[in-house]
Amino acid sequence: GLQPHPNECDYVLVGNTKWKKQQQTFIEALREKGFSLTEIEESDKCFYGIRAPDSMLDTYQYLMNDEIIFERTRIRVTDFVLNKTIDSKKERLTDLLRKNVFETAFPLHQKTQQDHLTEKWARWTALYKSQPIDLVKNYLGEKAALYFLWLGWYTYMLIPAAMVGIVVFLYGLAFFDKSPLIKEVCEANTTIMCPLCDTHCSFWKLSDTCMYAKVTNLFDNEGTVFFAIFMALWATIFLELWKRHRAREACHWKLYNWDKEEEDLVLEIVNNPQVMPEKFQHSYISSIIVMFLVSVMIVIFIGLSLGLVVFRVFATVVLSESEWKPLKENANTVAVMLGAVVHYLTITIMTKVNRWVAIFLCKIERNPFFEDKECSFTVKMFTFQFFTLFSSLFYVAFFLGRINGHPKEYVKIAQQWRLEECHPSGCMTDLFIQMAIIMILKQTLSNIVEFLSPWVKMKFNSIKYHSEKNKDGEIDNWLRNYYLNNVSYFSVFNEFLEMVIQYSFTTIFVAAFPLAPFLALINNIFEIRLDAIKMTRLERRLVPLKTNNIGIWLQVLEGIGVLAVICNGLVIGITSDFIPRLVYKYRFGPCAYSNATDIDCMVGYVENSLSTVNLEHLNPKHLQNNSDFVNLTYCRYRDYRSEEDFTLTAQFWEIFAARFAFVLLFEHVAVVIKFIAAWFVPDVPMQVKNIDLNHKFANLKKRLCMMPHRTTSL
Amino acid sequence: GLQPHPNECDYVLVGNTKWKKQQQTFIEALREKGFSLTEIEESDKCFYGIRAPDSMLDTYQYLMNDEIIFERTRIRVTDFVLNKTIDSKKERLTDLLRKNVFETAFPLHQKTQQDHLTEKWARWTALYKSQPIDLVKNYLGEKAALYFLWLGWYTYMLIPAAMVGIVVFLYGLAFFDKSPLIKEVCEANTTIMCPLCDTHCSFWKLSDTCMYAKVTNLFDNEGTVFFAIFMALWATIFLELWKRHRAREACHWKLYNWDKEEEDLVLEIVNNPQVMPEKFQHSYISSIIVMFLVSVMIVIFIGLSLGLVVFRVFATVVLSESEWKPLKENANTVAVMLGAVVHYLTITIMTKVNRWVAIFLCKIERNPFFEDKECSFTVKMFTFQFFTLFSSLFYVAFFLGRINGHPKEYVKIAQQWRLEECHPSGCMTDLFIQMAIIMILKQTLSNIVEFLSPWVKMKFNSIKYHSEKNKDGEIDNWLRNYYLNNVSYFSVFNEFLEMVIQYSFTTIFVAAFPLAPFLALINNIFEIRLDAIKMTRLERRLVPLKTNNIGIWLQVLEGIGVLAVICNGLVIGITSDFIPRLVYKYRFGPCAYSNATDIDCMVGYVENSLSTVNLEHLNPKHLQNNSDFVNLTYCRYRDYRSEEDFTLTAQFWEIFAARFAFVLLFEHVAVVIKFIAAWFVPDVPMQVKNIDLNHKFANLKKRLCMMPHRTTSL
């Protein structure tokens, strides 16, 4: 039923009539290969409908042992041959497209299948339904179908993670008011804290941050530690089960033992039986150059995120010295907002730069095979995007407020401007705010843009299309396709990249934001339909590419899993207050030296975690706007330093040792758990292995029957 | 030329004549399958020479697309069918061997090839020659050949490691006398140290350990840190290059794309064309049981090594209370020697227990495929042996002397016996001594035993053989083989296990013993010839098994690489004095607060690293044999504790934090380097990939020529 009408075209080339002569050279080369062509001129455009010769497809079918040639195979073979064809002027289609001889080239949507897919899958009201992956595979090809299969699986696996995340969040909420730590902060209205910045910050009461302390406690409690371990395990199990899921689907598609290399060779032979296969190439010199350039890029990313830090510090100072009073008073907030805008701009610009550099690096490597090129591009692009998006998060998580020196001698940029301090209620809050902004704002915004931009274009083109309406059958269909949005080989890649970046956010800093899986879940439920609608209805038809796995993305996801273990360990060990609290409880608090059971072990923690500085050591600037606190002789700051010489106390070093010990322990335990989980769940279901085994066995038996001069009886 | 004489036998079964009737049942079953048989009775033994029917081998050849059937293939097919044959009493060969109906079954050595191999390879005088791997493959099969290929490669790769190790050792030797630390120790004849044990130890001068301090400095300097990083990198590059080496060899053997599963199916069909293939099975329940039992075993290993610790402590006390004076005076040394004997006995017994338990666990898993069984057995056996051999090293490296409490309150077993202290010159010395003993003694001893035991048996049997000499051609050859040592499927496995354990020693604690690679190199040069002589001349012929990789051992080696990074990081961070010295240099020493360049930054380190305890806090027992030091009021011990309340000082915590920070840093840097190295060196040489590609291409072209009704011209 899926065989197209025998006279239908597989592919359409469009070019301006003024280039007709040049177009004909290429068209002639196609005719020589046996393609049948239909030419239609329409206003100033020339449309060439082409259809691959049956002999070509027969050869493919014979060499691949396929039973039927599906429509997706026709389009794929046509696309391959089209891109490999060299005309008498030694030009390829890509050259001609670049020279504008041809405007565009695309395969055609099939109205009935398109409608069927829309009905079953590509509409918002199908949200609650499972995806008809086989239909998607038949129409958009295995590559796109595997993306949707993966996305569906990821979304499905997010359900338990989101649920546990919500439970952890609720656990935090349950102790919202009851934690003795919060009580201590809220009642500390005699604890006067040192100013957080140089110029216009004043002294403040610790009790002012009561509300923030409550919010911070939501995300910085024992539940978070549990959740971080849970998510490290989740990431492993997710990948293990995905491997099984993929194997099952590949087996169902009869592609379990499919060999990409062989497929490529067959396509080459189909295109030109006299062809010599390309050779694998590898050069250690280009590897070194690539490694060097990637390092340079990474240094640039780190430099950019440090630049952003300096920018915020600088902006705060400049703004607070402005003449306009509202600006002056809210200098800090405005600087943070300005910083966010600059950050967003940097990301937008760097995304384009990254793509360009990644393509350039792939050119240096000169891989002759598309598969390898794609791998190499994927890894580079992901690395660059990862650093672009995460480097400032790493700064917030592990450096912000930790390298600021002490009240007598603050670390200053250009010996003038103090570095930013952590949020008054703790460094974890900064990380939490950053994560919340990224997860909620960035996802929502980028989804809207991603959907609206093709939708608007489509609507706009639709008007053009309807203005040219009353045409005959074939050209009407071609025009309808022509006025849809363009797609490229990158389409599925871009979707994958977006989702893998989201996966990184969901797993890498999940300790700071347990609601991340929940937000990702909500987003993905819509993302599936959004991508489906885009690919089926708003864009021209994808060339259906064949594959049986998600390729290098699997390794990328495994890498993210490792990073997630390291980062979550570090967030809990270094960023959160989990370790200082533990150390206080067992070494310095009231329980350390007494066996009484009725005392709260955390009493006095807040007081203990603050150091004291005599005002005479402070910068005199601070004392200027000290109107509220008249008789102040000292102020407090978060650190473990001696009052006399500002050296770090033994408690600081003990906490420091405990932090590192925790990170070490966390990482090794997580690695062992990951290892056991990977061993426990076989990568390939036994059912798939047995089907494969039976298949091989059947083939051998078939060959045995054909054996000449067999003497023993069967 | 390798084709055997057409009437020669592939395999010989031997049984006592009194079981002849039962033997005939099985022989009949073989005859039915078409085997040709030669029966010879010799004294009370009955010899059955069997030869596989040509039709069987033709089928194999046809299904495998082999060009020639080599002798090794004949033997392998015969062995497979022999073991699969079920006689009319439903008994297999294994059952009959167990019941003693047959005494043994073995393939025959070929005198000419054996001599050729001896000439080229299997003799001590060929030490300096490279191995003729193809000859080995042709005679002993791919599996044994891959073992020798790997062992040769490992030996070859040990050369740079050994050289760097020697350089590091010489670097230590160059500063043997000059280090200011050693000077400080040697001149510290007024520094009186506290007794190291409870009962009969007395006070001692620090300067007594002058000589030991020099030796320790040989292995505990900056060079060691460099060498540990070098070896982590070496292990990665070794594996990467091995993968390439293997791929090249597999390609050369035309086994690059060989499929084990298909081979097994073909053998099954050759044995019985009506066979149904076995099914893959997997049970989560048996996985859980296996996991539980493995954990129990690991707990037992840890318990045993703790038991050994307690045994030594206990023995020391018991011996020092003995009546016999020489024993009493050398109680400590005798206890250590007793401990070593008990340790050796434990290892010997546990090796047998481990094999038994590993086989039992494999039975629980019920894998129907030999390949899977072997994998599972390998991993278990290696894990068990690893824990058996390494658990006491782990104790020495990371716990010995660190959990002993302080002079006022020593940690005591059963509230009576103090734990062992580290060697007076530092904890690294203990680890170094242990490593040196194992590398030198164990290897030499086990090699001698490994070689002598079959050699003696062979010589002994040889006498028997010669006493029966004057026989006719065939039976003479059979008898000659019969009187060689028996081999089993485990032969190659045992050699591999031994070498992989050695590889573990060479990489995991290399930081404590930079000469390990050198010793391993020397050992391996002999080991290759030893194994060669054993397999070619002292033992019956191995069934030549076919494979194209070393299987699960690759993963085991990768696991060892990871463990090596962790352990070397820990040895340098925790066991050695590298970190305390660094911390002293930059934070507490004379350079910390002065910018003078002419002072030695390490002056005062030894003094700083000792704590003081007033004698009144000591156990009165110690003061009994205090004849040498009359006016002593305090003694010193290695630790960072306050003199008043024995709490750990800030410096201790700072060093502790630095130790963990170092381990974290070391591990992550090593992982990144490993990752980059793995990326930089492609697993498969491009040459091999291209040969494979051309092979696939040629196959496709061949098929294309056979395509029926081709319309387009070639």
Domain boundaries, chain B: 11-108
Taking the CA of residue A554 and the nearest CA in chain B, the distance in Å comes to 16
Helix count (H) and strand count (E) of chain A?
A: 25, 12
Residue of A134, A139, A144 whose CA lies nearest to A115: A139
- Residue A402 to residue A427: CA distance in whole angstroms: 9
CB B311 within 8 A of CB B339: yes
Q: Does B59 touch chain A (CB under 8 A)?
A: yes
CB B271 within 8 A of CB B201: no
Per residue in B455-501, pLDDT tens? 888 888 888 777 766 666 778 888 888 888 888 878 899 999 999 99
Q: Residue A712: what pLDDT? A: 46
Distance CA A670, CA A232 (A): 7
Distance from the Cα of B562 to chain A's closest Cα (Å) equals 11
Question: In chain A, what residues touch B686 (CB-CB under 8 Å)?
Answer: 279-282
Residue pointed to by tokens 């090796």: B351
Residue B654, chain A, CB below 8 Å: the answer is yes
CA A603 to CA A484: how far, in whole Å?
67
Over the stretch B118-141, which tens digit does the pLDDT of each residue have? 999 998 888 888 899 999 999 999
Q: Where is average pLDDT lowest: A64-68, A382-386, B121-125, B172-176? A: B172-176
List C-alpha distances in Å: A456 to A391, A495, A538, A681, B394: 34, 19, 9, 46, 67
Using only C-alpha atoms, chain B has a radius of gyration, in whole angstroms, of 31
Contact partners, residue B346, CB within 8 Å, separation at least 6: B304, B308, B388
Interface test with A, best of B251, B664, B665, B674 (most A CBs within 10 A): B664
Q: Closest to A273 (Cβ–Cβ): which among B262, B653, B714?
A: B714
Report residue A470's pLDDT band, with 50, 70 and 90 as the boundaries.
low
Looking at CA atoms only, how far is residue A120 from chain B in angstroms? 36
- DSSP assignment, residue A539? B
Tell me if chain B has a CB within 8 Å of the CB of A269: yes
Tokens of A15: 């070019």
Q: What angle do CA A123, A124, A130 make, to 5 degrees?
A: 80
The pLDDT score that the predictor gives to residue A23 is: 92
Query: Which residue, chain included where needed, has tokens 């439903």?
Result: B90
- Which two three-digit tokens encode residue B473? 């051609």
Q: b/e map of B576-609 (b: 16 or more CB within 10 Å)?
A: bbbbbbebbbeebbbbeeeeeeeeebbbebbeeb
Q: Identify the pLDDT of residue B303.
A: 94
In angstroms, the Cα distances linking B385 to A215, B200, B507, B557 are 52, 37, 16, 14
B45-51: strand order across its sheet: B36-42, B45-51, B11-16, B104-107
Chain A segment 593-612 residues within 8 A of B by beta carbon are none
Residue A708's pLDDT is 79
Q: How far apart are CA B651 and CA B583, in angstroms?
A: 9
pLDDT at position B107: 93
Q: Is the pLDDT of residue A472 over 90?
A: no
Q: Which of A696, A710, A712 faces B261 most closely, judged by CB atoms? A: A696
Percentage, residues of chain A above pLDDT 70: 96
Judged by CB atoms closer than 8 Å, whether chains meet at A277 and B697 is answered as yes
**Looking at beta carbons, which residues of chain A come within 8 Å of B263?**
none
Q: Do the beta carbons of residue A305 and residue A350 sit within 8 Å?
A: no
Closest residue in B to A34 (Cα) is B712
Residue B42 to residue B60: CA distance in whole angstroms: 34
Probe site for chain A from B372, B640, B649, B656 (most A CB atoms < 10 A): B656
Looking at the complex, report in whole angstroms how far the Cα of residue B676 sits from the nearest Cα belonging to chain A: 9
Instruction: Identify the pLDDT of residue B518.
Output: 94
Residue % of chain A over a pLDDT of 90? 45
What pLDDT digit, counting tens, does each position of A270-308 carry?
A: 998 888 888 888 899 999 999 999 999 999 999 999 999
Give the per-residue pLDDT at A126: 86
Q: Which residues of B touch A712 (CB under 8 A)?
A: 34, 55-56, 59, 273
Indicate the pLDDT class of residue A7, thresholds 50, 70 and 90.
low
Q: Find, among B379, B374, B372, the residue nearest to A693 by Cα.
A: B372
Instruction: Closest CB to A660: pick one of B661, B689, B690.
Output: B661
CA angle B434, B435, B441 (to 5 degrees): 85
Looking at the structure, give the CATH architecture of the domain made up of residues B11-108.
2-Layer Sandwich (3.30)
Average pLDDT over residues A644-665: 92
Q: Do B262 and A696 touch (CB under 8 A)?
A: yes
A702 and chain B in contact, CB less than 8 A: no
Chain B within 8 Å of A366 (Cβ-Cβ)? no
| Cα A251 from Cα B196, distance rounded (Å) | 67
The residues in B 548-577 lying below 8 A from A, measured between CB atoms, are: 566
What is the reported pLDDT for A624? 65
Which residues in chain A are contacts of B676 at CB distance < 8 A?
291
Q: Please write the tens of the pLDDT for every residue from B270-289.
A: 998 888 888 888 899 999 99
Name the average pLDDT for chain B: 87
Predicted confidence (pLDDT) per residue in A368-412, tens digit = 888 888 999 999 999 999 999 898 889 989 998 888 888 888 888
* Segment of A218-227, A555-564, B437-446 carrying the highest mean pLDDT: A555-564
What's the Cα-to-Cα distance from A455 to each of A448, A462, B401, rounded to whole Å? 10, 10, 72
More confident position, A6 or A431: A431
pLDDT at B713: 44
Q: State how far the Cα of B668 lies from the Cα of B49, in Å rounded to an integer.
A: 60
Q: How confident is the model at residue A469 (pLDDT cuts 50, 70, 90)?
A: low
Report the pLDDT averaged over residues A693-703: 91
Interface test mutation site (partner B, options A281, A711, A713, A714, max chain B beta carbons within 10 A): A711
| CA A655 – CA A670 distance, rounded (Å) | 22
- Of A624 and B423, the structure prediction assigns the larger pLDDT to B423
Q: Judged by CB atoms within 8 Å, which residues 192-231 of A form the interface with B?
A: none
Q: Return the structure tokens found at B262.
A: 């298909």
Containing A16, the helix (H) or strand (E) segment is: strand A11-16
Q: Which helix (H) or strand (E) is A151 found in, with range?
A: helix A133-174
Identity of the residue numbered A576: S
Q: What is the pLDDT of residue B2?
A: 42
Q: Which of residues 286-305 of B touch A (CB under 8 A)?
A: 287, 291
pLDDT tier for residue A127 given thresholds of 50, 70 and 90: confident
* Span of A322-336, A574-588, B158-172 with lowest mean pLDDT: A322-336
pLDDT digits (tens, 9 = 90+) for B32-52: 999 999 898 888 889 999 999
pLDDT at A123 over 50: yes
Q: A-chain residues within 8 Å CB-CB of B700?
A: 63, 262, 265-266, 269
Instruction: Give pLDDT, residue B172.
Output: 85
* Interchain pair A282, B682: CB under 8 A: yes
Are the beta carbons of A182 and A210 closer than 8 angstroms? yes
> Which residue shows structure tokens 């609650």?
A128
What pLDDT is attached to residue B181? 82
Of A104-108, A203-207, A536-540, B423-427, the least confident: B423-427
DSSP 8-state secondary structure symbol assigned to residue A449: H
- The pLDDT value recorded for residue B1 is 34
Torsions phi, psi of B278, nearest 5? Answer: -70, 160
Question: Exposed, middle or buried, A253 (CB in 10 Å: 0-12/13-18/19+)?
Answer: middle
> If you average pLDDT over residues A513-520, what whole number do you get?
92
Chain B residues with CB-CB distance to A287 below 8 A = 680
- Euclidean distance between CA atoms A661 and B658, whole angstroms: 10
The pLDDT of residue B624: 65
State whether A694 and B277 contact (CB < 8 Å). yes
Say how far apart CA A590 and CA A585 lie, in whole Å.
Answer: 8
Interchain contact, A690 vs B265, CB within 8 Å: no
Q: Which residues of B touch A660 (CB under 8 A)?
A: 657, 660-661, 663-664
pLDDT surpasses 60 at A6 = no
Mean pLDDT of chain A, nearest integer = 87
Is the separation of the CB atoms in A315 and A341 below 8 Å? Answer: no
Give the residue ranges of DSSP H helices in A220-259. 222-252
Cβ separation B700–A269 shorter than 8 A: yes
